[in-house]
Amino acid sequence: MITVTDLRKVYRQGTREVVALDGVSMSVPKGSIHGIIGHSGAGKSTLVRCLTLLDRPSSGTVTIDGRELTNVKDSEIRLARRRIGMVFQHANLMDSRTTAANIAHPLELVGTPKRDIEARVQELLALVGLDQFADAYPAQLSGGQKQRVGIARALAAHPDVLLCDEPTSALDPRTTDEILDLISELTNRLGLTVLIITHEMNVVKRICDSVSLLEAGRVVEHGPLQEVASHL
């Protein structure tokens, strides 16, 4: 479960203040998928940066399963970040590393023992349906397969929350559906809490349980998919 409470972020540009987030609140239960939609400039990237601790909010809190994320000390940021797995528009894989080695990378960074990494990588390959591609390089994979690697890598360290930032914007419609169905299946299977930032209504309609519509740093509509979708 992730809870965002009255999040504000004010950027200072010289003497001018830009209010990027103006009291954003939302709550997403474990096992469900929440869509965040909004036009350019609405505050989506700022929200992502605050959730991943790349940026500190000016005020307000984010908690995951009751533990506050926003008040961790700088020295604990790296550890706290592991509670959120990130999926991006482009998987940003390392071209010189195989699928397995790309998935292993975040675990290597945190010093997981080699034997544990290998077992976990096998598990993740099976989870995203890439068992047959462990030794393939990114150049040998389709766009959808690369995104599967990205998802496996995001899940490697057992995060509670999966934060997907425009996860299908670079994919064709068929691959989009395939990746969304995978995210949906993993949400149920692993009991994840999922946030999807997107500008695509079809994404929201296919897999989100609930939605927030962001406008000028504020949530102007929120609720179950059926309710919100009927206003859009």
According to DSSP, the residues that pair with 164 across neighbouring strands are: 87, 196
Residue with Cβ nearer ligand ADP (41 or 129): 41
Residue with Cβ nearer ligand ADP (107 or 160): 107
CB atoms within 10 A of CB 162: 23
Please give the residue ranges that form the binding site for ligand ADP (CB under 6 A): 11, 13, 18, 20, 38, 40-46, 97-98, 100-101, 104, 114, 117-118, 121-122, 134-135
For the bound state, the minimum distance from the C-beta of residue 122 to ligand ADP, rounded and expressed in Å, comes to: 5
Residue with Cβ nearer ligand ADP (177 or 215): 215
| Alpha carbon distance 15, 204 (integer Å) | 38
| Alpha carbon distance 107, 118 (integer Å) | 10
- For strands 2-13 and 16-28, give the pairing: antiparallel
CA dihedral 115, 117, 119, 123 (to 10 degrees): 180
For the bound state, the minimum distance from the C-beta of residue 105 to ligand ADP, rounded and expressed in Å, comes to: 8
Residue with Cβ nearer ligand ADP (40 or 75): 40
According to DSSP, the residues that pair with 185 across neighbouring strands are: none
For the bound state, the minimum distance from the C-beta of residue 65 to ligand ADP, rounded and expressed in Å, comes to: 26
